[in-house]
Structure 1
Amino acid sequence: MGVFTSVAIFLTIWWTVLFAVLPWGTVTHADAGIDKGDGGDPGAPVDPKLKQKFLITTGIAIVVFGIIWLIVWTGIVKLPRLPSEY
Protein backbone atom coordinates (compact mmCIF):
# COMPACT_ATOMS: atom_id res chain seq x y z
CA MET A 1 0.00 0.00 0.00
CA GLY A 2 1.55 3.27 -1.13
CA VAL A 3 1.74 6.53 0.78
CA PHE A 4 -1.00 8.25 -1.22
CA THR A 5 -3.33 5.27 -0.84
CA SER A 6 -2.59 5.06 2.89
CA VAL A 7 -3.34 8.74 3.44
CA ALA A 8 -6.54 8.53 1.39
CA ILE A 9 -7.75 5.48 3.33
CA PHE A 10 -6.85 7.08 6.69
CA LEU A 11 -8.69 10.31 5.87
CA THR A 12 -11.76 8.38 4.72
CA ILE A 13 -11.75 6.40 7.96
CA TRP A 14 -11.18 9.58 10.01
CA TRP A 15 -14.16 11.43 8.50
CA THR A 16 -16.42 8.40 8.83
CA VAL A 17 -15.49 7.97 12.50
CA LEU A 18 -15.91 11.72 13.11
CA PHE A 19 -19.54 11.62 12.00
CA ALA A 20 -20.10 8.66 14.32
CA VAL A 21 -18.41 10.41 17.29
CA LEU A 22 -19.97 13.89 16.93
CA PRO A 23 -23.28 13.08 18.65
CA TRP A 24 -21.61 11.48 21.71
CA GLY A 25 -22.42 13.42 24.89
CA THR A 26 -24.08 16.30 23.09
CA VAL A 27 -26.51 18.41 25.13
CA THR A 28 -28.72 20.68 23.04
CA HIS A 29 -30.10 24.03 24.12
CA ALA A 30 -33.58 22.48 24.20
CA ASP A 31 -32.35 19.66 26.48
CA ALA A 32 -30.63 22.15 28.78
CA GLY A 33 -33.71 24.39 28.89
CA ILE A 34 -31.92 27.41 27.43
CA ASP A 35 -33.98 29.75 25.25
CA LYS A 36 -32.07 30.63 22.06
CA GLY A 37 -34.29 33.61 21.28
CA ASP A 38 -35.26 34.64 17.79
CA GLY A 39 -33.65 32.64 15.01
CA GLY A 40 -31.61 30.33 17.23
CA ASP A 41 -31.75 26.60 16.65
CA PRO A 42 -32.82 24.77 19.81
CA GLY A 43 -30.99 21.67 18.52
CA ALA A 44 -27.60 23.41 18.55
CA PRO A 45 -25.19 21.94 21.12
CA VAL A 46 -24.43 23.96 24.25
CA ASP A 47 -20.79 22.83 24.38
CA PRO A 48 -19.77 20.66 21.40
CA LYS A 49 -16.32 19.69 22.88
CA LEU A 50 -14.82 19.47 19.39
CA LYS A 51 -11.18 19.19 20.49
CA GLN A 52 -11.97 16.17 22.64
CA LYS A 53 -14.03 14.59 19.86
CA PHE A 54 -11.25 15.19 17.30
CA LEU A 55 -8.75 13.43 19.59
CA ILE A 56 -11.13 10.49 20.15
CA THR A 57 -11.77 10.32 16.40
CA THR A 58 -8.04 10.30 15.66
CA GLY A 59 -7.42 7.50 18.17
CA ILE A 60 -10.18 5.31 16.81
CA ALA A 61 -9.13 6.03 13.20
CA ILE A 62 -5.52 5.03 13.98
CA VAL A 63 -6.69 1.70 15.44
CA VAL A 64 -9.03 0.97 12.51
CA PHE A 65 -6.37 1.98 9.96
CA GLY A 66 -3.84 -0.23 11.74
CA ILE A 67 -6.18 -3.21 11.44
CA ILE A 68 -6.75 -2.50 7.74
CA TRP A 69 -3.01 -2.02 7.13
CA LEU A 70 -2.28 -5.32 8.88
CA ILE A 71 -4.88 -7.12 6.74
CA VAL A 72 -3.36 -5.71 3.54
CA TRP A 73 0.24 -6.30 4.70
CA THR A 74 -0.40 -9.96 5.55
CA GLY A 75 -2.01 -10.49 2.13
CA ILE A 76 -5.47 -11.48 3.34
CA VAL A 77 -6.85 -8.78 1.04
CA LYS A 78 -4.77 -7.51 -1.86
CA LEU A 79 -5.20 -4.02 -3.25
CA PRO A 80 -5.06 -3.85 -7.04
CA ARG A 81 -2.10 -2.00 -8.51
CA LEU A 82 -2.44 0.54 -11.27
CA PRO A 83 -0.34 -0.10 -14.36
CA SER A 84 2.80 2.02 -14.45
CA GLU A 85 2.62 2.53 -18.21
CA TYR A 86 -0.45 3.55 -20.14
Structure 2
Amino acid sequence: MAYSISTALAIYFVLWWVVLFTTLPFGVRSQHEDGEGAPGTDPGAPVMARMGWKLLWTTIVSAVIFGIGMWAYHQGYLNIERLSKLMGLPF
Protein backbone atom coordinates (compact mmCIF):
# COMPACT_ATOMS: atom_id res chain seq x y z
CA MET A 1 0.00 0.00 0.00
CA ALA A 2 1.63 3.23 -1.11
CA TYR A 3 1.14 6.65 0.37
CA SER A 4 -1.05 8.98 -1.58
CA ILE A 5 -0.08 12.64 -1.84
CA SER A 6 -2.83 13.70 0.56
CA THR A 7 -1.76 11.11 3.17
CA ALA A 8 1.87 12.20 2.93
CA LEU A 9 0.88 15.87 3.31
CA ALA A 10 -1.32 15.07 6.31
CA ILE A 11 1.52 13.16 8.01
CA TYR A 12 3.95 16.00 7.29
CA PHE A 13 1.43 18.57 8.57
CA VAL A 14 1.00 16.77 11.91
CA LEU A 15 4.75 16.16 12.20
CA TRP A 16 5.46 19.84 11.47
CA TRP A 17 3.17 20.99 14.30
CA VAL A 18 4.67 18.51 16.77
CA VAL A 19 8.18 19.72 15.93
CA LEU A 20 7.05 23.36 16.17
CA PHE A 21 5.73 22.87 19.69
CA THR A 22 8.97 21.10 20.55
CA THR A 23 11.16 23.96 19.28
CA LEU A 24 9.15 26.86 20.75
CA PRO A 25 10.89 27.02 24.16
CA PHE A 26 14.46 27.01 22.78
CA GLY A 27 16.30 30.32 23.06
CA VAL A 28 13.45 32.23 24.70
CA ARG A 29 14.30 34.57 27.53
CA SER A 30 11.54 36.11 29.61
CA GLN A 31 11.31 39.75 30.62
CA HIS A 32 11.96 38.67 34.20
CA GLU A 33 15.23 36.93 33.26
CA ASP A 34 16.49 39.91 31.26
CA GLY A 35 15.39 42.46 33.85
CA GLU A 36 13.66 44.59 31.26
CA GLY A 37 10.01 44.81 30.47
CA ALA A 38 7.27 47.24 29.70
CA PRO A 39 5.00 48.23 32.56
CA GLY A 40 1.77 46.26 32.62
CA THR A 41 3.13 43.23 30.78
CA ASP A 42 3.58 39.76 32.18
CA PRO A 43 7.10 39.11 33.51
CA GLY A 44 7.06 35.70 31.81
CA ALA A 45 6.46 37.19 28.36
CA PRO A 46 9.33 36.60 25.93
CA VAL A 47 11.69 39.44 25.13
CA MET A 48 12.46 38.16 21.63
CA ALA A 49 10.73 35.03 20.35
CA ARG A 50 12.63 34.74 17.00
CA MET A 51 9.69 33.00 15.34
CA GLY A 52 11.18 33.25 11.85
CA TRP A 53 14.16 31.11 12.83
CA LYS A 54 11.93 28.66 14.69
CA LEU A 55 9.66 28.25 11.67
CA LEU A 56 12.68 27.66 9.45
CA TRP A 57 14.20 25.10 11.84
CA THR A 58 10.81 23.42 12.26
CA THR A 59 10.49 23.01 8.50
CA ILE A 60 14.02 21.63 8.14
CA VAL A 61 13.78 19.19 11.06
CA SER A 62 10.31 18.04 9.96
CA ALA A 63 11.52 17.42 6.43
CA VAL A 64 14.46 15.33 7.70
CA ILE A 65 12.27 13.26 10.03
CA PHE A 66 9.65 12.83 7.30
CA GLY A 67 12.34 11.78 4.82
CA ILE A 68 13.70 9.18 7.24
CA GLY A 69 10.18 7.89 7.84
CA MET A 70 9.46 7.62 4.11
CA TRP A 71 12.76 5.85 3.54
CA ALA A 72 11.95 3.37 6.34
CA TYR A 73 8.48 2.83 4.87
CA HIS A 74 9.82 2.13 1.38
CA GLN A 75 12.48 -0.22 2.79
CA GLY A 76 9.74 -2.22 4.53
CA TYR A 77 10.56 -1.28 8.12
CA LEU A 78 7.28 0.59 8.64
CA ASN A 79 4.58 -1.63 7.25
CA ILE A 80 1.39 -2.62 9.03
CA GLU A 81 2.30 -6.30 9.33
CA ARG A 82 5.66 -5.60 10.95
CA LEU A 83 4.27 -2.96 13.32
CA SER A 84 1.33 -5.14 14.43
CA LYS A 85 3.72 -8.05 15.09
CA LEU A 86 5.98 -5.72 17.09
CA MET A 87 3.06 -4.63 19.27
CA GLY A 88 1.78 -8.20 19.66
CA LEU A 89 -1.47 -7.60 17.79
CA PRO A 90 -2.92 -10.11 15.37
CA PHE A 91 -3.10 -9.00 11.77
TM range (shorter): 0.7 to 0.9
- Show the counterpart of 2:12: 10
Q: CA deviation at 1:76?
A: 1.6
Percent identity over paired residues: 34
- Show the counterpart of 1:84: none
Structure having the larger proportion of residues in helix: 2
- Which sections of structure 2, spanning at least 5 residues, go unmatched? 82-91
- Runs of 4+ aligned structure 1 residues displaced above 6 Å come to none
Number of aligned positions between the proteins? 79
2-side partners of 1:42 and 1:67: how far apart? 40
Superposed CA offset, 1:46-81 (max 9, x none): 11000001001111000000011111111222259x
Over aligned residues, Cα RMSD in angstroms? 1.5
- Which sections of structure 1, spanning at least 5 residues, go unmatched? 81-86
User: What is the TM-score normalised by the length of structure 2?
Assistant: 0.80
